[in-house]
Structures are given as C-alpha cells and as structure tokens.
C-alpha cells in the first residue's frame, strides 16, 4: 500500500486540486492540517483525503511525523512526502516509487537540479545550493538537492527514523538519519513549478539560515 503524506497550513486554495491529482495514483492520501485557520481540512477531506488535524500550528516537521505515524499504523508499505501548494507533479510519484518497489534502494529524494525548476530565482537557487552543501558537510550524504519536499521511503526506512525538528530543518534531519542508519538512497529528477502562490506560501530565503541555526543547536542538544 502506498500512502502520500501532505503537510498543509492554510492551503485551501490548492489542496483539493493537489489531492485530486494524486488520488488515482496511490492507495491513500493523508493531509495533515497543521492548525489552519481556513478551509484546508474540509476541502482536503471532500477531495478524498484522510485528514489529521493539529489544533495549533506545530510546523512542517511535526506534520510529517504525525502523517508518518498514521501511515505506518494503517500498514503503508511505501510513504511519499508531497507539498500542498501545487508545485510538484503527481505523475512523478511513480518515478520515486519504482526504485523502492524493485528493492534498489530504501529512500528516494527528488532533485529539482537533476530535473526542472521552473521560475526558480537565481538567489533562491544559490541559497538552496548553499544549504545543500552545508547538509553534505554535516551529514556526509552528498546530494544535489537536500531541501526538496518530494521524497519516498520504504516502511522499514521510515519506521527507523527519529525526527525531532518541528520546522523546516527536518529536511536536513532526514538526510542525517539516512547517514546514521546507513540507508540506501537515490536522487530522482523531479519537476518543480514556482508560481506566485507557491513562492508566497513557501519558505523565505532567510529561512535557510534558520534551518542551519536549528540544526547546529539541535546537534548539541541531542548529544
């Protein structure tokens, strides 16, 4: 069984279309409504998703953990992370799943730099690259795109990961866990569409420095 996990915070504008685009391709979709003040949850449910709700906004990482725990509890064999803002293409989910299904690896990570990134500003590109280099230096896992929210895992891999960061730093923490657990991984080319909406909803450029700060602090706290 393949389960897609979508963290969502105030994504009422796009969530129904995102869910409907994925629904024919997988077994179940879990939308984690992370304390939204709009109709994100009701629209996701009406579109066909299972909706889990955080009473308050806990962050992207916390939403992934909530979704992962539920997916594993209902017997997911493969888990996919997908964004709620419409920047990914549902048809590319199978591209991430195929290496897992044939036993070639345990984790697949989408890369916009191996694939296509439409309307990606040069400064944002540079900041993503810098954060990826930092993650490589920190974890020893060499990637082209460490902060892409399009990923897939076998249940065995997902169940072993210990994710503590509630915010966006969880993306780097996932890479840390790949290194710690010595999991097989592979990058897969994916397409990312940057629209005015996704850029408005997405992480600001300053957030990359926040991620680095959180990771450094977290390393010392968790020693």
- Name 76's Cβ contacts closer than 8 Å, sequence gap at least 6: 1, 2, 3, 28, 155, 158
pLDDT at 66 over 90: yes
What's the pLDDT tens digit per position in 149-181? 999 999 999 999 999 999 988 988 999 999 999
Can you give the pLDDT at residue 114?
79
Going by pLDDT thresholds of 50, 70 and 90, the confidence category of residue 15 is: very high
Instruction: Give residue 104's domain range.
Output: 2-221
Q: How far is CA 172 from CA 92, 101, 131, 133, 147, in A?
A: 22, 25, 9, 11, 7
Can you give the pLDDT at residue 146?
76
Backbone angles phi, psi at 153, to 5 degrees: -140, 150
pLDDT at 59 over 50: yes
What's the pLDDT tens digit per position in 117-145? 555 555 555 566 566 666 656 667 778 88
Can you give the pLDDT at residue 141?
76
Specify the 3-state DSSP secondary structure of 34: strand
Higher confidence at residue 20 or residue 201? 20
The C-alpha R_g of the chain, in whole angstroms, comes to 16
pLDDT at 111 over 70: yes
Total domains in the chain come to 1
Instruction: Read off the CATH number of the domain in which 135 is found.
Output: 3.90.550.10
Can you give the pLDDT at residue 203?
54
Tokens for 170, please give them. Answer: 């969880």
Nearest to 211 by CA among 119, 120, 149: 149
Can you give the pLDDT at residue 108?
98
Q: Is residue 197 within 8 Å of 14, Cβ to Cβ?
A: yes
Region of 161 (left: φ > 0; alpha: ψ -120 to 50; beta: rest) is beta
Can you give the pLDDT at residue 220?
44
pLDDT at 193 over 60: yes
């Amino acid at each position: 069984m393949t389960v897609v996990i979508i963290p969502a915070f105030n994504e009422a504008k796009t969530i129904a279309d995102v869910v409907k685009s994925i629904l024919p391709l997988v077994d179940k979709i879990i939308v984690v409504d992370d304390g939204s003040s709009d109709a994100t949850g009701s629209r996701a449910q009406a579109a066909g998703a299972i909706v889990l709700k955080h009473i308050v906004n806990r962050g992207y990482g916390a939403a992934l953990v909530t979704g992962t725990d539920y997916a594993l509890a209902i017997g997911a064999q493969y888990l996919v992370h997908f964004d709620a803002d419409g920047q990914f293409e549902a048809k590319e989910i199978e591209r991430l799943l195929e290496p897992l299904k044939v036993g070639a690896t345990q984790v697949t990570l989408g890369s916009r730099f191996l694939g296509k990134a439409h309307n990606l500003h040069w400064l944002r590109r540079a900041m993503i690259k810098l954060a990826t280099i930092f993650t490589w230096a920190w974890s020893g896992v060499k990637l082209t795109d460490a902060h892409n929210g399009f990923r897939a895992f076998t249940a065995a891999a997902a169940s072993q990961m210990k994710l503590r960061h509630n915010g966006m730093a969880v993306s780097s923490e996932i890479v840390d866990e790949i290194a710690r657990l010595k999991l097989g991984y592979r990058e897969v080319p994916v397409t990312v569409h940057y629209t005015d909406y996704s850029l408005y909803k997405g992480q600001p450029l300053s957030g990359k420095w926040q991620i680095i700060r959180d990771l450094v602090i977290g390393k010392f706290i968790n020693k």
